[in-house]
Amino acid sequence: MVKELESLKLKLKQVQTDAADVKKSIYGASTQPSNVPASARVLTNLSPVASSSTSPRHVNLASSRKRPAAVEPATSEKPWIMDLTLVAYGSRLPNNRAAAIAKYLDVAVELPPKHRLPAVFTGMSIRSILGGNSKHHVLLSASAKEFAVNYGITNYSKPTMEQNPWAPSGPGKHGYWFCRPVSDKKHMFHRDEERHVFMGTSQSGGYHYCGYYRVAGVGWLTPEEWKSLSHPNKAAYMKSICRQPYIELKQRGASSFEQLASKLGKGDLLVPYVQLQCIEFDPAFYGELCRANDSFFEKEGFALHDRVKRRRITEEGGREDDEYESESASYFENEES
C-alpha cells in the first residue's frame, strides 16, 4: 500500500512538472494568472514591470483623450506590459516610411490587473459592443450600442493586416493604412480624424484593441513600394478595391486583375495611404471593453470567423460585401506578380 501511494505521488509530481513545462513554453518563465478570461488566452510574450493600475470607469473619451487617464497607486500585484506583435505577412516597412513615424514615441500600454493578457475580439463581438457593421471602417449612427454612446464613440476601425501590412504592429504602435483610390471619395479619411482602432487578420478572424489614433498625412505609394509588397498583400488590396470585379475593374481601366496589377506596378494607378499615430491607450476604458467582450462570449460562445453572405443588409439599411469571401481570378493563384 505504501509503495502504491509513493508511486501515485511520483506520477502526480510528474504531471505537475509537465504542466509547468507546457505553461513555460507558451507564456515564458511566468505562468498565466488563474483569473484570465477565456477571450484573452492568446500566445504572446509578457514581462512584469512595476507600474500603476486603474479601476475602470465610464468616461467620455471625446473630452478625456487629451489628458492622461487617472491612475491609482499600484497594488501589491504588479500589472503587466504587453509585448504583442501582429503578423505583417512579409511586407517590410520601407526605411523612409519607418523614419516618418519614428519621431512618435510608442504609447505605454498598461493592462488592468484583471486583464493581464491582451483580449481577443472578433468582428461579431466588436459589433455587439459598439454597433456598426462588418466593414473595416465604421461610422456609427442609429446602430450605436449603449457602450459606444456612453463613451462618445462615433466611429472606429477594424482592418486586417493582410490588406494593411504597414499597419500598427501592436497596441500603442504607429503605422499606415492603405486606402481605396482617390476617386472613391466616400471611403477617404478626413485630415486629423481620430478613432479607436482594432487590428487583426482575416485568416484567424481575431482582433486586438490597439488604442485611440489620429489619422493624418495622406500620401501615395510609389511603384517601387507597391512592387515591394508580398503577393498576398497585393492580392488582398486589389480584392478590397474590386469587390464587384466586372464593374470596378472597368472603372479602374482594367479588364482583369492581371491588368490592374500591371497598372499599379507602373504607377498608372496610385495607392493612397494614411498615417496612424497612437495618441492614447486608456487602461480603464480597455478594462470595460474587455468585460463587455467577456460577457459577449459567455452568452454567444467563442468563434473567431464571422462570415456573412455577400451583399447582406446592414443595420443601417445599406448593402455591404463579405470581408472574407474571395473572388475567383487566376492572378490570386500565382506565386508572384
Per-residue pLDDT at 113? 74
Cell of 172: 500603442
Per-residue pLDDT at 184? 52
Per-residue pLDDT at 65? 40
Question: 3-state secondary structure string, the chain?
Answer: CHHHHHHHHHHHHHHHHHHHHHHHHHHCCCCCCCCCCHHHCCCCEEEECCCCECCCCCCCHHHHCCCCCCCECCCCCCCEEEECCCCCCCCCCCHHHHHHHHCCCCCCCECCCCCCCCCCEEHHHHHHHHCCCCCCEEECCCCCCHHHHHCCCCEEECCECCCCCCCCCCCCCCEEEECCCCCCHHHCCCCCEEEEEEEECCCCCEEEEEEEEEEEEEEECCHHHHHHCCHHHHHHHHHHHCCCHHHHHHHCCCCCHHHHHHHHHHCCCCCEEEEEEEEECCHHHHHHHHHHHHHHHHHHCCCCCCCCCCCEECCCCCEECCCCCCCCCHHHHCCCC
pLDDT tens digit sequence for 285-302: 999 999 999 999 998 876
Per-residue pLDDT at 41? 37
Per-residue pLDDT at 294? 92
Over 90: is that where the pLDDT of 174 sits?
A: yes
Per-residue pLDDT at 12? 52
Measure CA of the first residue to CA of the last residue in the chain; give whole Å: 72
User: How sure is the predictor about 28, in pLDDT bands with cuts at 50, 70 and 90?
Assistant: very low
Over 70: is that where the pLDDT of 150 sits?
A: yes
Over 60: is that where the pLDDT of 55 sits?
A: no
Q: What are the extents of the domains in the chain?
A: 1-31, 44-333
Triad 144, 208, 221: Cα angle to 5°: 95
Cell of 254: 482594367
| Pairing, β 193-200 against β 155-157 | parallel
Per-residue pLDDT at 152? 95
Which range among 72-86, 94-108, 291-305 has the greatest average pLDDT? 94-108
